[in-house]
Chain A
Amino acid sequence: MSESYDVVVVGAGPAGSIAARAAAREGARVLLIEKRQTIGDPVRCAEGIAKEAVHRHIDPDPRWIAAEVEGFRIVSPDGTPLEMRGVSSGEVGYVLERKLFDRALASDAVQHGVDVRVKTRAVGLLRSDGAVRGVVMEHLGERHEVEAGVVIGADGIESKVGRWAGIDTRLALKDIDVCAQMLVHDPSIDQSICQFYLGNEVAPGGYAWIFPKGNECANVGLGMLGSRSNGGLPMQRLRRFVSERLPKANILEVMVGGVPVSEPMHGIVADGLMLVGDAAHQSSALTGGGIANAMDAGAIAGRVAAAAIADEDTSRERLSEYEREWFELKGKSLKRDWVVKERLVKLTDEQLNGFMHSLQGVEFREMHVHEILVHLLKRNPKLLWWLKDLL
Chain B
Amino acid sequence: MVVDVNRYVCGYCGACVSVCPVDALELVETWLEVHECCTECGACVRVCPVGALEVRA
Q: Are the CB atoms of A158 and B27 closer together than 8 Å?
A: yes
Number of B interface residues at 8 Å Cβ cutoff, please give it. Answer: 26
Interface flags, A70-111, vs B, CB<8A=1, else 0: 000000000000000000000000000000000000000000
CB closest chain-B residue, reference A232: B51
Interface assignment of A166: CB less than 8 Å from any CB of chain B: no
A175 to B33, CA, bound (A): 23
The answer to whether the Cβ of A381 comes within 8 Å of any Cβ in the partner chain is: no
Interface of chain B residues 1 through 57 with chain A (CB within 8 A): 11-15, 17-21, 23, 26-29, 43, 45-54
Known interface pairs A173-B46, A179-B49; A257-B15 also in contact (CB < 8 Å): yes
**What residues of B have a CB within 8 angstroms of the CB of A231 in the complex?**
45-46, 48, 51-54
What is the minimal beta-carbon distance from B38 to any residue of chain A, in angstroms?
14
Kindly state the interface size class of chain A when it binds its partner: 35 or more
Q: Report how many A-B pairs have Cβ atoms within 8 Å.
A: 94
Complex contact A35–B29 (CB within 8 A): yes
Residues of B within 8 A of A234 (CB): 49-50
B11 neighbours in A (Cβ, 8 Å): 42, 254-256
Interface centre among A156, A229, A232 (most CB of B within 10 A): A232
Tell me, in angstroms, the Cα distance from A171 to B27 when the chains sit together: 16
Question: B residues bordering A, Cβ < 8 Å?
Answer: 11-15, 17-21, 23, 26-29, 43, 45-54
Q: Which A positions have Cβ atoms within 8 angstroms of B? A: 35-37, 42, 44, 119, 121, 156-160, 163, 169-173, 176, 178-180, 226, 229-235, 254-258, 260
